[in-house]
Structure 1
């Protein structure tokens, strides 16, 4: 288990903060009211007990709390991102090199109370992740994406062919309409005109049978 309380740089100006250079020149030994202060990735922090309340002398300087713990996998828990109050982080199966099945919890929060509540809810099974790692995977593989591209290209080609066919049909339809109009005023025998007009009408204005 690991609990670190990250502090703002303002803590350097706090009463009780001390910084003394190491004799070997490797850096400074920092303390605040007797508690060792460390630096990691440019951030100041103190190590903390998992069940201890944060000291009053530190509360106003708390920037973030990190919490890491392994718990026995007594009952199945859904892996994913969990959130409760200011506490948020992930729970995943991780045996930490041992034989006993375990879950690893890695959370960050503004208060220890939020972390305690989130851990409690996970242990009793009273909360679900806001983002689950166990849902069906929605994305496609590279092969599936390539096949989808080919399918869409083929569909696009078919649609273009249909558009060409529609243009041809529109032209034929227009010519038939013109022929229909010409026959109406033609001086050909009525029987001939009627037969042709009926055939054209069946094409232009099909009726449901």
Structure 2
């Protein structure tokens, strides 16, 4: 949810740099599942350690896609399988909780609803997230969740949206300086999967930029 809010403008449309947002969301799901102890990483491949439903529609979507893949796969291979339908699930959850609202909208007769903030401005959740990212850039201690979000935002190409007015190199330098956040990673697999996801998404983002 945090990553998606960074990738949407206040008018409810995706930002210009949100072209590979779906891959970032899929990567976030992998990290969340690892933190919850539902998946592990061994030999560069993901395996499901607990297939029971979590009760969270977004995480359960990812868990089903991983389980149904048919074999153990790398985090990069799983991104494509998980991203299908994922953005709608995240948006539905934010609408259900009153963070965003859905506005019918069409482009050339194609339904493309907008998702502006329910409060008419920047969602409170996004404001809180941006405050944490700002502290990270300023050199303050960070938690693992903020570190993960910043890493995924950079990998997904959301630098301008997540860190307006801040050079990508500056954010990269800060993340390198705090490679180990103030609090420990919940499980080792979280950091390992985040590293694998980061490399895979950067490769995808680079491909998109090159082809564009």
TM-score, scaled to structure 1: 0.21
Flag the structure with higher strand content. Answer: 1
Which structure's CA Rg is the greater one? 1
Larger relative contact order (C-alpha < 8 A, sep ≥ 6)? 2
1 or 2, which has the higher helix percentage? Answer: 2
The TM-score normalised by the length of structure 2 is 0.21
